[in-house]
């Protein structure tokens, strides 16, 4: 069924840091948000909420700070810790975005950048 009705959908994505540095974190998280928006033709008005997770080896800044620096000011943001799993990707930031869109689930493009690409090799870039 090709349902073109606007509804709430969830988008995922992730990126990694080379080092735990505030400016680097803000740059990489900003890049992740920009890619999520560009790949899915989104604007701040399309957002319901953004949830960020970060691995335990990240402590330089909150990933949500990058959203605020990028101009996302009227959307609820939340940061949480990623599970510390053996073999997990170090210095990884993930995003879960709840958005209004008329795209079908198969048309959504989830950005996995830098070393986080290995998390979802099944998805197109």
Q: What is the DSSP letter of 32?
A: H
Domain topology for 8-116:
60s Ribosomal Protein L30; Chain: A; (3.30.1330)
* Average pLDDT rounded to a whole number, residues 54-64: 97
Strands 77-81 and 7-16: unpaired
* pTM, entire model: 0.93
In what side-by-side order are the strands of the sheet with 47-54?
7-16, 92-101, 47-54, 77-81
pLDDT per residue over 64-102, tens digit each? 999 999 999 999 999 999 999 999 999 999 999 999 999
As a whole number of angstroms, the distance between CA 56 and CA 91 comes to: 8
As a whole number of angstroms, the distance between CA 100 and CA 48 comes to: 7
Mean model confidence pLDDT for the chain: 93
Maximum separation of any 2 CA atoms in the chain, in Å: 46
Q: For residue 109, is pLDDT > 50? A: yes
Catalytic residues: 12, 68, 79, 82, 94, 112, 120
Q: For residue 1, is pLDDT > 50? A: no
Q: In the chain, where are the structural domains located?
A: 8-116
Q: For residue 124, is pLDDT > 90? A: no
Q: For residue 39, is pLDDT > 50? A: yes
């Amino acid at each position: 069924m090709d349902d073109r009705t606007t509804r709430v959908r969830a988008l995922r994505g992730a990126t990694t840091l080379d080092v735990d540095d505030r400016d680097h974190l803000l740059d990489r998280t900003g890049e992740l948000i920009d890619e999520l928006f560009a790949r899915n033709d989104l604007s701040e008005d399309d957002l319901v909420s953004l949830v960020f997770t970060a691995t335990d080896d990240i402590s330089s800044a909150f990933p949500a700070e990058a959203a605020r620096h990028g101009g996302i000011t009227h959307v609820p943001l939340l940061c949480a810790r990623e599970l510390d799993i053996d073999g997990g990707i170090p210095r990884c930031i993930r995003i879960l975005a709840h958005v209004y869109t008329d795209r079908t689930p198969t048309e959504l493009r989830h950005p996995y950048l830098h070393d986080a690409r290995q998390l979802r090799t099944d998805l197109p870039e």
